[in-house]
Structure 1
Amino acid sequence: MNHLSRRSLLQFATAASALAATGTIPALVQSAFANDAPTAQPKTLPWRNWSGGQTCTPAMRAAPADEAELADLIAKAATPIRAVGAGHSFSPLVPTNGTLLTLDRIAGVTAIEAKTHQADILAGTRLARMSDDLAKAGLALDNMPDINKQSLAGAISTATHGTGSEIGSLSTFLQGLRLVTASGKAIDCDAKRQPEIFQAARVSLGALGIITKARIQARPLYKLKRRTWVAPVEEMLEQVSALEAKNRNFEFYYIPYSGMALGISNNETDEAETPAPVNEDDDGLRQLKMLDDWLGWSPGLRRWTIQKILGGMEPEERVDFSHKTLSTERGVRFNEMEYHLPREAAPAALREIIETIEKNNIKVFFPIEFRTVAADDIWLSPFYGRKSASIAVHQFYEWDYKPYFTAIEPIFRKHDGRPHWGKLNTLEAADFAAIYPKWKDFLKVRAELDPKGKFLNPYLRKVFGVA
């Protein structure tokens, strides 16, 4: 194990923040969605998400170049019609035997309002491109998720988030959006124009229509100092409230079978940027898997080894522009479950999760991520009406995730958790109705905009209780 350096094992933990499903679209999908391809592909090419856990063979693939083509497609295409971005959702939001469409050709920042720092951004824009384009204009978002491969529309539709006790999900940055509905009609909505549609569309799972453009609130470009350190997980949990209050962005990762956690904070600074470090996250995760292969038979020896490797490690710091310190590259694939809990309940829930994993010797090496998110008023936001803490668990994509997630999900539910819309869970319509106060309001808007369920695949029919 001489090549298992302290640095690489520190770096592996941040790779767990690939929590939103990272990576690139498989080559097969890229070829089908190439920008120079015809608007619609009649061939029945199979599709899979990033982890390979969700698959389908749609009757048609389509890549409309503009809103007019999209409206025509919606009127004529086989249903269900589902949009796909980078395939970073683990739940079955995308699979369809009807029409699978991408908005990759409807992408880019189209307008910036200098006085308000608001930007009009087309829905197919990937978060990484959006961040770079905003930075060139001297702007940035107030927060970013730890993965930036998603499309803007997909991130909005699933309440994708970063961490920060006083910062909401990306959906809270929305000032308005444009939506093409089942009739082919385009609707512009915001807090004043058709506010009920706006409230529903801010987190909609793609069930109201196809978002084509969003107006996003940004702010002047800023830098962050990112600090990472290692501490016993119980010490991290005891200090979690103080760390959330002290730092603009705070999160930590528990390293299974180690008793140790990696803390990460980001705070605004005017200091000069430091050189970008070499990204060793994926190598670190592979080394952690190797530890599981070698020492999984002995949790005690595994714990002793990781603690020895991490012991005495000095904190590391980096300064860069916010979109570069908040989001990172990930490559090792996994499947994921993430629940958002009332903030005060989260430490106890994590302690139960750790105990369940280690008493039952559950096979896992991916770190568990703990983040915070501000409350909001969005109908289907998991953060509706309460300050939340998010706990995410991951399983290596080649391993069966069901035993692990089946053991952990009851703990999330016991503590009043709401699942991330893009992550795996077993909830059904009655469950969602019980945990979302505005559930019926959303169902009413959905039925008005899409009475025949043109945008509902089998999974969403189950979620919304539509026959």
Structure 2
Amino acid sequence: MTQPDFQTLVPRRQFIAQGAAATLGGLLLSHGLLDEAQAATPATAPAAGSLQWHNWSGVQRATPAALPTPANEAELQALMASAQGEVRAFGSGHSFTALVPTSGTIVSLDKLSGLISVDKQAMTATIHGGTRLGVLSRALDAQGLALRNLPDVDVQTIAGAISTGTHGTGIDLPALHADIVGMRIVTPGGKVIELHEDQNRAMLAAARVSLGSFGVISQVTMRVLPAYNLHRKVWLRPIEQLLQQAPQLAQQHRNFEMYYLPFTGYGAAISHDLYTGTDLMLPKPSDDAVMDDLRKLRDWLGRFPQLRQWAAQKFIDPNMTDEARHRAYRLLSSVRPIKFNESEWHVPREQGIACLRQIIAAIEKHNEAFFPIEFRFIKSDYAWLSPFHGRDSCSIAVHAAADEPWDYLVKDCAPIYRAHSGRPHWGKLHEMGFKELSAMYPRWADFQTMRKQFDPQGHMLNAHLRKLFVQA
């Protein structure tokens, strides 16, 4: 086994004393390494001629009959009118659940991208459905505008992000779909249905989080804000201290989140607040080698968890901090190419800390764990299948390296989440089906009725969605 280059790492990370666990603090300070991963368009055509598709992590795969990439809404209409059998759409392939795989048609939204228009009087923007959040953020910034919040990576398309309930963090900030005021959907058969919250409130409440089951979203119109800067701060504390302080910290800061690094006893707190000064400074670039070295430390001491924690606590400097000040979209989202699989649930806010304690205990029964456990705050909304429907929530996410087993993330953690009235993230690994999910959502039956109006023949359902939406 190759020894990690700590002598090289330490000079780049000035926050922790030199030693075998220096990489741990470096990891926590590098916000990019604490975030989700960068996605990539996962479509290829192998030499044999058969089409293949896989998501970003590789956990979901398919061999579709067709992989079209319509260039505009008219081409999408023609495609939907002529497609036979199942039809699924994908944007960045960032979901870990089997939302996309089908042997029928998989539609790429790559060419349906870009900012269409802005209305600065109404403070809204109209956007092609395949526009990735990073592209959208830069286009809005050029107009002096910004999204209210962002998730911690920005490679997802706007259509995919809202369809799965993608969110950032902030006690007064809802998920992205809550800002949608209008939408155009191309349904099976090629019909375009346009929705607006003033005329189609119920339909839009159903369509905001639909898992792509109504049709393909070609355009959205959403609320925007004047462009703004944020001040970000990252600091380390013993996890017990952060567990006690987290609710208060969430109240104090515009955006607050925290991460627990298994087998260290330490967590990282990250806050963002509005900044009106002119002294701008981007965060330090992430160091991909840090996660590799963290895995090596796990490999060396994984059979000795107490020694592993001793090593971490001996060398971590709990007084270190890291700060940055810049445009909001430059700080809220970041890039991390290290691949993993993830399971995430959302529990009522008042149960968040208690649930997190139990999740930490469950994860630390597995010596192979080394990815941070993520904890965030989300405001309620009223989209029918929003995981935050009718209740302020906390999200708890657990991860495993893409080349390592991940089933324990689901099997060990799901009973804990369910005991705390949790709802699974639609794009993250879970094993829930119709029976369990129908009991979690007050408007479940209404959603199913609405879905059948958009797609009466069920062309937008694959095996995974039939498990979710069709009663056995």
User: Which TM-score applies when normalising by structure 2?
Assistant: 0.93
1:145 to 142, 151, 176: 151
CA distance in 1, matches of 2:344, 2:151: 14
Which residue does 2:18 correspond to in 1?
Answer: none
Name stretches of at least 5 consecutive residues in structure 1 with no aligned partner. 33-41
Identity of aligned residues (%): 41
1:430 partnered with 2:401: no
1:319 partnered with 2:336: no
SS in 2 for 1:351: helix
CA distance in 2, matches of 1:200, 1:455: 15
Which string of whole-angstrom CA distances, capped at 9 and with x for unpartnered residues, describes residues 99-154 of structure 1? Answer: 01111111100101121221100000011000000000000011000010011100
Which residue does 1:38 correspond to in 2?
Answer: none
Which string of whole-angstrom CA distances, capped at 9 and with x for unpartnered residues, describes residues 383-406 of structure 1? Answer: 000000000000001111013431
Which string of whole-angstrom CA distances, capped at 9 and with x for unpartnered residues, describes residues 191-222 of structure 1? Answer: 22222221111000000011100001111000
1:190 partnered with 2:196: yes
Distance change in 2, residues 1:449/1:312 (3 Å): closer
Distance change in 2, residues 1:210/1:143 (3 Å): same
CA distance in 1, matches of 2:200, 2:276: 41
Amino acid at match of 1:444: T
Displacement of 1:176 in angstroms is 0.7
CA distance in 2, matches of 1:453, 1:303: 52
CA distance in 2, matches of 1:435, 1:185: 32
Displacement of 1:22 in angstroms is 2.7
Which residue does 2:276 correspond to in 1?
Answer: 270
Displacement of 1:316 in angstroms is 1.2
1:18 to 18, 32, 35: 35
1:367 to 367, 372, 375: 372
CA distance in 1, matches of 2:318, 2:111: 50
1:81 partnered with 2:87: yes
User: Which TM-score applies when normalising by structure 1?
Assistant: 0.94
Amino acid at match of 1:434: A
Which residue does 2:402 correspond to in 1?
Answer: 397
SS in 2 for 1:62: coil
SS in 1 for 2:92: coil
Correspondence list, 1:126-275, <5 A? 126-275=132-281
1:303 partnered with 2:309: yes
Which string of whole-angstrom CA distances, capped at 9 and with x for unpartnered residues, describes residues 170-191 of structure 1? Answer: 0011011111112311111122
CA distance in 1, matches of 2:323, 2:34: 18
CA contact (8 A) 2:52 2:63 kept: yes
1:69 to 75, 87, 96: 75
Amino acid at match of 1:373: I
CA contact (8 A) 2:343 2:409 kept: no
Displacement of 1:16 in angstroms is 5.6
Displacement of 1:411 in angstroms is 0.7
Displacement of 1:465 in angstroms is 1.2
Displacement of 1:273 in angstroms is 4.4
Correspondence list, 1:41-80, <5 A? 44-80=50-86
SS in 2 for 1:134: helix
SS in 2 for 1:60: coil
CA distance in 1, matches of 2:206, 2:218: 16
Amino acid at match of 1:465: V
CA distance in 1, matches of 2:182, 2:41: 28
Amino acid at match of 1:24: A
Which residue does 1:39 correspond to in 2?
Answer: none
CA contact (8 A) 2:302 2:367 kept: no
Say what the alpha-carbon RMSD is for the aligned residues.
1.7
Which residue does 2:19 correspond to in 1?
Answer: none
SS in 1 for 2:199: coil
SS in 1 for 2:67: strand
Q: Which moved more, 1:306-315 or 1:424-433?
A: 306-315
1:417 partnered with 2:433: no
CA contact (8 A) 1:16 1:369 kept: no
Q: Which moved more, 1:369-378 or 1:179-188?
A: 179-188
CA distance in 1, matches of 2:414, 2:367: 14
Amino acid at match of 1:323: Y
Amino acid at match of 1:309: F
Displacement of 1:9 in angstroms is 3.0
Displacement of 1:15 in angstroms is 4.5
Displacement of 1:407 in angstroms is 1.1
Distance change in 2, residues 1:404/1:155 (3 Å): closer
CA distance in 2, matches of 1:457, 1:18: 30
CA contact (8 A) 1:341 1:389 kept: yes
Distance change in 2, residues 1:273/1:80 (3 Å): farther
